[in-house]
Copies of this chain bind each other. A is one copy, B any other.
Amino acid sequence: MEWQALIQAQPALAHVPSGLQAVAKRRKTQAGEPLFRQGERPRRVFFVCADEVRLLRRARNGAEIILQRSRGGYLAEASLGAKSYHCDAVTTETAVVLCFPIRVFLEALHEDSTFQQVWATHLAHEVRRLRAQCERLNLKGASDRIIHYVEAEGVDGSVTLHRSRKAWARELGLTHEALYRTLRRMKAEGTLHVGMDRISIARK
């Protein structure tokens, strides 16, 4: 497995100890293939490299309750101390994931204090990011969410978008139509500077 390229594409994989790298396995899944099921004893930790994996529960009324949609990053971090998975993990498309045996992962955390610290830092950053996103999603107006995103995720009132606007819209909890329209309006109002992939808030 070519870890150089992996880390290049996924910075969150940096600092994974070599012993853990050695036992990690890449896996390409079929669409709808389950990675694990609710109630099973956790045996692996996953990292989503491409496409999408969903954590979900089946509600009593038949509905699918999506707990998380992951398109990159660690999956089910909480399964590291848990006795059993508390939800299902299924791929919506052909997904590419890394599989780490939980036992080795825990050993690595326990023995490698650097990795331990990197892991805690990773989790803390994730917590911060998610809390900001929750606050953002609590805003009702589309323009409020856009401004919040730029101020919270960007630097000095300016962000670079690395993905399509459609994907951005989904992260903002808006339809792409609403995002396009609001961007146009804010640009016209002079509230926002909109470049190809650079969005800035007009100062005052």
Residues of A within 8 A of B (CB): 55, 57, 59-63, 65-69, 76-78, 80-81, 109-110, 113, 116-117, 119-121, 123-128, 130-135, 137-138, 147-148, 151-152, 156-157, 170, 173, 191, 201-204
Contacts and interface: CB of A to CB of B under 8 A. Distances in A.
A203 B173 CA distance: 29
Given A123-B120, A147-B61, A67 B132 contact: yes
Contact of A61 (B59, B60, B173, B203): B203
13 contacts: A59-B147, A59-B201, A60-B156, A61-B191, A61-B201, A65-B147, A68-B128, A77-B127, A116-B116, A116-B120, A119-B120, A123-B124, A138-B173
Contacts of A157: 59-60
Nearest to A62: B204
A31 to B, nearest CB: 20
A131 B132 contact: no
A62 B202 CA distance: 11
Given A60-B204, A119-B120, A123-B127, A132 B81 contact: no
Contact of A132 (B68, B126, B203): B68
Nearest to A192: B61
A15 to B, nearest CB: 12
B124 A78 contact: yes
A130 B128 CA distance: 10
Nearest to A122: B123
A59 B146 CA distance: 12
B60 A131 contact: no
Contacts of A148: 65
Contacts of A117: 81
B125 A68 contact: no
Contacts of A60: 156-157, 201-204
